[in-house]
Structure 1
Amino acid sequence: MAKSNINKGKGKNADEIFNAFQTLRNEQRQLANKITELEMDLNEHKIVIETLQGVDKSRKCFRMAGGVLIEKTVGDVLPVLEYNRERLPQAIEALNEQLARKGKEINEYIETHDIRVHRGHRAPETAPEQATKSNVLVASE
């Protein structure tokens, strides 16, 4: 993981700290996007399975696999869709755990490097505690 590389340097300058922080946030966003994508896939699987359960098993249907449209029968496609529907919640749960760990990693990084996250154009709510600490101000998008 990036954690071992990020936490090594205590003598980093503000740009390096900011770039590492942005990398962590981007990784967190990617995980959240993947979770959303898998949840949408799960909903689509449920809808398609409900639709195909009322159809004759020998009826022709088409399935997209790796960007290629494949012609099969409902009897061939339905078990694969049901298997995927059973496995998707496990994948979503694993990604949720990764997302939680990434959030903790970001919080630890913020505490380690004394980062102040500035949202919008408001003034910082807390005054600097010590003049000897090096604070990094990060503007949220």
Structure 2
Amino acid sequence: MSGSAEAVQAEVMMSFLVSEELSFRIPVELRYETRDPYAVRLTFHLPGDAPVTWAFGRELLIDGVAGPCGEGDVQVAPAEPDVLGEVLIRLQVGCDHALFRSSAAPLLAFLDRTDKLVPLGQEGALADFDAHLDEALGRILAEEQNAG
């Protein structure tokens, strides 16, 4: 693939759920790039803090809009079971976590645009892992030969 990457970007207002009683709306930038076709990036613009970006699998976001998904640092699920209205995104680092709520509609619109750019299941055509693996193995072998 050439050095230029195509991208899809959107800004979505989400609620940052601090507690059951306290939440506030923040802008979140969603970004998808052909140079990393398996991932989406969400940049959270929290008041008084530098923006924070999380990257995770596009498929996790797609699946999480429809039903609970994710077991690690990122979990996505509908806010209400069997209702496609709002989506919860939980991000966790160690014991700390942050919970965000978004309307499903702008997420689905963003995901639809990513699918038009790179259809789900076609990411491998852009991600030339074999070439990267061959390059890395070649460097390792060259270093070993030079060291020996």
Q: Based on CA coordinates, which of the two structures has the bigger radius of gyration?
A: 1
- Greater relative contact order (Cα 8 A, min sep 6): structure 1 or 2? 1
**TM-score (normalizing by structure 1):** 0.33
**TM-score (normalizing by structure 2):** 0.32
Q: Which has the higher helix share?
A: 1
Q: Which has the higher strand share?
A: 2
